[in-house]
Amino acid sequence: MGNDNLYPVFTAGVFLKHLEEPYIYNILNDELYEINDEALEFLIKCDGITPLSSLSFDNEFMDYCLEEKLLELAEIRIDNPKKPPVRKSPVPSLRYLELQITDRCNLACRHCYLGEPKGKELTIQNIKDVFTQFEELQGLRMIVSGGEPMLHRDFAIINEEIKGRAFRAILLTNGTIINEEKARNLNFQEVQISLDGLEEAHDHLRGKGNFKKAVKAAKILIEMGIDVSAATMITKMNANDFEPLEAMLKDMGVKEWAVDVPAGTGFAAGGGGDIFLPSKEASLYLRYGYGGGLYQSTGEYACGAHLCAITPDGSVCKCGFFADKPAGNINADSLSDCWGRIEKQRFSELECGNCEYIAECRGGCRFRAMLESSMNAPDSVKCFAYGIKK
């Protein structure tokens, strides 16, 4: 078959993104491929409409794209293909958006930073608008959370609306209400389940019987081919669980494991003495965890350079911890305008900006630093973890 009868087009789940540099992004396996401007120009024309014979391209690059299943050659012209906009993003780019669609929750976890629900919930129109604006901003990961997001009154509609979007859809859940039917219908590429230790420790924080429910949910999702990640908060109760928990997660096929220290707000404010470990001791457990994690910073920026959050009342903030310092509200402002107002701290602004570990640590959590001292102060948990503090 001649080139006149072949139409290069992106494989399902693969999209062009123009961040600080142009990239190809595969939302199915979360792979990001940096490309040059020449490749970008060629790939923009791989739209299922333009025949291969009319395109100028490097054969080696074309073969690579076909081998990696980034492109495929259609034998018939694809009319009206869905084509998300490819335009250069702001700098730094907004890559990760945590969308807290509801504050409803079926648990009252003792270490939850959100505290009591206030009956707030984003509307379907809010959510659809945010999805579209995030695509236009070249976003990579849409992290749908709560509360317990599956308790949103219109979750079924949200689940349908997220299908086919040009970003990786990640659901953050406690796992207690996932069954085979719900898992089968999910249109998310990844589900992150909270597992705060083995059964005794997890249920101490989240309620009796919830460990078994969460593990069962993870197994159902993995069996159905959905990527599963886990999140664990370091506490006094689970301090001895990390090695067996790691073995269990790897044996189950959990792809990523995020480990962090809980913040002393929400339900834990003022009453976390039986939950929290001192920073020095807690830092020892940060060596656990594997995979890339949900959020990453690049360049000369501190933690959170590519992340923001939207709370259930529509407030747009630096991350969920900074809900009381919004940069705007999606009911009145565009996501782009709000992102432009959020302060992105450079290493040079941090008191620890000259530290030998700054490029790896990125100053640690700015919220923990603020609770201890100020927004520009070091995060002592990370200082202990890297051996700066003894």
Per-residue model confidence as pLDDT tens digits over 20-59: 999 999 999 999 999 999 999 999 999 999 999 999 989 9
What was the pLDDT predicted at 114? Answer: 81
The label of the residue with tokens 């070249």 reads: 138
Q: How large is the average pLDDT for residues 376-380? A: 96
The identity of residue 31, as a single letter, is: E
| pLDDT greater than 90 at residue 182 | yes
What was the pLDDT predicted at 82? Answer: 73
What was the pLDDT predicted at 66? Answer: 97
Q: Assign a CATH topology to domain 96-344.
A: TIM Barrel (3.20.20)
What was the pLDDT predicted at 265? Answer: 63
Cα separation of 75 and 79, whole Å?
13
Task: Kindly report the number of other CB atoms within 10 A of residue 102's CB atom.
Answer: 24
Instruction: With CA atoms as reference, report the closest residue to 72 among 53, 46, 93, 96.
Output: 46
Please give the residue that has the higher pLDDT: either 170 or 294: 170
Q: How large is the average pLDDT for residues 221-225? A: 98
What was the pLDDT predicted at 214? Answer: 99
What was the pLDDT predicted at 1? Answer: 44
The domain ranges of the chain are: 3-74, 96-344, 345-390
Q: What residue ranges in 75-224 does DSSP mark as E strands?
A: 96-100, 141-145, 168-173, 190-194
Residue 15: pLDDT band (50, 70, 90) is: very high
pTM of the complete model: 0.95
Contacts 24+ apart (CB under 8 A), 180-185: 180/220, 180/224, 182/150, 183/217, 183/220, 183/221, 183/224, 183/226, 184/224, 185/156, 185/159
Residue 272: pLDDT band (50, 70, 90) is: low
| pLDDT greater than 70 at residue 151 | yes
Residue 274: pLDDT band (50, 70, 90) is: confident
Instruction: With CA atoms as reference, report the closest residue to 231 among 197, 253, 258, 263.
Output: 258
By percentage, how much of the chain surpasses pLDDT 70? 96
Q: Which residues contact 63 (CB under 8 A, 6 or more apart)?
A: none
Q: How large is the average pLDDT for residues 229-256? A: 98
Burial degree of 230 (CB within 10 A; 0-12, 13-18, 19+)? buried
Contact (Cβ atoms closer than 8 angstroms) between residue 190 and residue 184: no
What was the pLDDT predicted at 297? Answer: 77
Whole-number average pLDDT of the chain: 94
Cα separation of 171 and 144, whole Å?
5
Q: Which structure tokens are listed for 107?
A: 């648990």
Lowest mean pLDDT among 82-91, 282-291, 346-355, 358-367: 82-91
Instruction: With CA atoms as reference, report the closest residue to 345 among 302, 388, 285, 281.
Output: 302
Q: How large is the average pLDDT for residues 328-346? A: 97
Residue 270: pLDDT band (50, 70, 90) is: low
| pLDDT greater than 60 at residue 268 | no
Please give the residue that has the higher pLDDT: either 303 or 160: 160
